[in-house]
Amino acid sequence: MIRLLRQTIGNDSYPLSPRIQMLRGILAKFRPEQGAPATAICSTTGLSMAARAQAVADRDEASKVLRMLQMKFPGLSQPLPMLSPENTKIFRVTPTVISVLDYSKGFGHTDLVTC
């Protein structure tokens, strides 16, 4: 069955068609064959986004962002000297479209979120 699914998927001229995505989903439900490397591609999840970036010009806001960065990484006992508003460029990123990847629903499955 696994060999037949792989052969059908591999020989199809339309690898992104709903039919092939369904067959990939079925194939993902089978355990890897003995001796075959386990692949985690069908468990891929993540985010991808398109966004607009704008430089943060306000010195106080840039300082706040750098303090937040320091709080996020508390292992840094002292502020890093190279991280100051004078020598670090900070950008505000505003998403326009977010793509939520969830390959457990089928290879290449994404849900688009428009912002």
Domain coordinates in residue numbering, the chain: 1-39
pLDDT digits (tens, 9 = 90+) for 79-98: 666 677 787 888 999 999 98
Torsion of CA 13, 15, 18, 19, to 10 degrees: 60
pTM for the full model? 0.47
pLDDT digits (tens, 9 = 90+) for 13-35: 777 778 888 888 887 777 555 44
DSSP string, 40-58: -GGG-EEEEEEEEEEE---
Residue 38 CB neighbours (<10 A): 6
Distance CA 67, CA 61 (A): 10
Q: What is the pLDDT of residue 84?
A: 76
33: helix, coil or strand? coil
pLDDT digits (tens, 9 = 90+) for 32-81: 554 444 456 667 778 888 999 999 999 899 888 888 887 887 776 566 66
Distance CA 101, CA 115 (A): 16
pLDDT digits (tens, 9 = 90+) for 93-113: 999 998 888 887 877 788 888
Q: What is the pLDDT of residue 96?
A: 92
